[in-house]
């Protein structure tokens, strides 16, 4: 899978979309949180159809590699404070449906490991 580097905001979108989907269910609460992220990160109108298509076409066995790639993109373009804030947002996202699956926890841990926030 050939991927081009993403900026911090786009990488964050990919990370959140995968985190919200790895448990096999995209809860309405998660969708609302992602909408809030988009409103905060993209105050101007942004067409994310291409990004959504890339995510939608991923097979579940490709999610981890894609997630790790975008975690690295985010790391490259962010400050430690931004990573800590995003990590907290991601934690709230995976808890939004009041259940945290093992897979969600595993992906959240990958994020913390790549960003060395343990």
Domain spans, the chain = 8-114
pLDDT tier at 25, thresholds 50, 70, 90: confident
Burial of 64 (0-12, 13-18, 19+ CB in 10 A): middle
Is 118 a residue whose pLDDT tops 90?
A: no
* Residues of the chain above pLDDT 70, percent: 98
Of 78, 79, 54, 81, nearest to 67 (Cα)?
54
Distances in whole angstroms, Cα of residue 84 to Cα of each of 23, 52, 70, 110, 117: 23, 25, 16, 14, 8
Total-model pTM: 0.92
pLDDT of residue 37: 94
| 9 neighbors 41 (Cβ within 8 angstroms) | yes
Is 1 a residue whose pLDDT tops 60?
A: no
């Amino acid at each position: 899978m050939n991927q081009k580097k993403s900026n911090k905001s786009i990488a964050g979108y990919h990370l959140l979309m995968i985190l919200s989907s790895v448990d096999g269910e995209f809860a309405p609460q998660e969708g609302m949180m992602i909408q809030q992220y988009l409103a905060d990160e993209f105050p101007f109108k942004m067409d994310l159809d291409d990004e959504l298509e890339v995510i939608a076409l991923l097979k579940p066995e490709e999610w981890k590699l894609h997630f790790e790639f975008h975690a690295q993109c985010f790391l490259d373009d962010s400050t430690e404070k931004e990573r800590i804030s995003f990590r907290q947002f991601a934690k709230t996202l995976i808890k939004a449906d009041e259940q945290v699956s093992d897979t969600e926890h595993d992906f959240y841990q990958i994020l913390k490991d790549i960003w060395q926030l343990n």
